[in-house]
Structure formats: structure tokens, C-alpha cells
Amino acid sequence: MTQEKGTTRDLLLRVHQGDEKAISRLLTLHLSWLEKTIRSSLSAELRRHGETGDYLQDVVIQVLRHGPRFVISDETQFRALLARMVKNLLIDKSRWARASRRDWRKEQKGAGPSTTLSLDFPSPHQAGPGTNAGITEEQDLLRLAIELLPDQDRQVVLMREIEDSTFAEIGEQLRITAEGARGKHERALAHLARIAQRLKRGEIQSLLEEKE
């Protein structure tokens, strides 16, 4: 069946093709819900620097434009996933604002992935891991899996894999020893691998239903 124009899935496909109007359309479709989601997710730190409207467009556009490239037909699942990603980004902004660090997502603007991850069902025609498309799909799968990690696991993975922090630095941030940080990192990576495998099997709903 041909995908009807204007649906969430169609708009996501257009977003990933660089259609700026599709981003505006998605914002319009989900505006009221997005405002409530962001308002409830703002930390005291971020509230001191702006209101809900100040963050709404910037945060959502960052997530849609620079986050993992995915398409999904179920609007409830889309909102649940987008809410998780928006909350994660707001947590990052608050945490890294306090630490005077840059937002790592802004450093990824140059990468232009050529594939889009479908979350509607596991695809039997997935690109092989040795192809460029397969590598890009794996990258998006892992980026999406990171978004579904509990906050502290996510923090450890980002600090180690993105910011290249030492285990001593991670331990200082978490108020544990460097060896304790190393163990947390190993467990977080194992958790990340399990989530990625579940995404491959199409278990997006059960992942979204789990407590953060």
C-alpha cells in the first residue's frame, strides 16, 4: 500500500532526505504534546536560562536532524521514542552546561547517512555488514540503542566513547573509583548490545515500555 502523504512515517522519510518543511510539519502535528513533554523535562538549571518555547524548536530539530535516522508508523511509539530522545538531550544540555562542555550532537552535523532504520518490523533484507549501507545502518542502530539506555549507563557510554573520558574522570563524575567506573562501562556496553539485538528483532514496543 502506498504511504499516505503527511503521515508521521512519510514525514520522517522526508526529514531524512533533508526536507525542512517536513520538520515544520512534524512540529505542527505534535506541537501541543511536545510542549508538555519539554515543560515536564526541564531541569532547574535549564529553567533559569529559558522557557519551554525557547527550547522546543531547537531541541526537537536537533533530535530530528542530527539524531539516529529512523522511520516508524505507529504515532504512539513515535511519540514515546521522541520523548525519550528529547529528555536525553535536555539532560545532556543541563549536565554539560554545568560542566562547560560542548554538546556532542552538534559535532555530528557533517555526517550524512544514506540509509534510514525502519522500526516497524525486523527486515529480512537488511544490508550486509560489509556494505556501506550496512555499516551506516549499524551506526544508527547503536545510536538509537544508546537513547534507550538508562540515564547512568548512557552517561558512562557517552563519556567514554564520545568524550573519550578516562575511567578516573568518569569515576569522579559518578563519585566512584576508576575501577568501579570501568565495571560500569563494561556492563553498560553489554546492556547496549542487548538493546541493539532487541531492536533488530523488532522489539521497539517492549523497549519503550521498560522503565528508564
Q: Which residues of 87-103 are buried (b: 16+ CB within 10 A; e: fewer)?
A: bbbbbbbbbeeeeeeee
- The strand pairing partners of 117, in sequence order, are 70
Could you report the per-residue pLDDT of 6-53, keeping only the tens digit for each?
Answer: 688 999 999 989 898 999 999 888 989 999 999 998 888 888 888 888
CATH, residue 74: 1.10.1740
Q: Is the dihedral of CA 72, 92, 15, 123 positive or negative?
A: negative
Strand ranges, E, within 63-197: 70-71, 117-118
Q: Is the dihedral of CA 10, 14, 16, 22 positive or negative?
A: negative
Angle at 39 (CA atoms; ends 33, 40), nearest 5 degrees: 95
The predicted model scores a pTM of: 0.79
- pLDDT for res 139: 85
Name the phi and psi angles at 118, rounded to 5. -90, 125
Could you report the per-residue pLDDT of 127-171, keeping only the tens digit for each?
Answer: 455 555 556 778 889 999 999 999 999 999 999 988 899 999 999
Task: Give how many domains the chain has, as a whole number.
Answer: 2
Instruction: Say yes or no: 104 and 159 in one domain.
Output: no
Closest CA to 144 of 185, 90, 198, 95: 198
DSSP summary character for residue 210: S
- Out of 55, 78, 112, a domain closes at 112
CATH, residue 125: 1.10.10.10
Instruction: Say yes or no: 69 and 126 in one domain.
Output: no
**Cα 165 to Cα 174: distance, rounded to the nearest angstrom:** 12
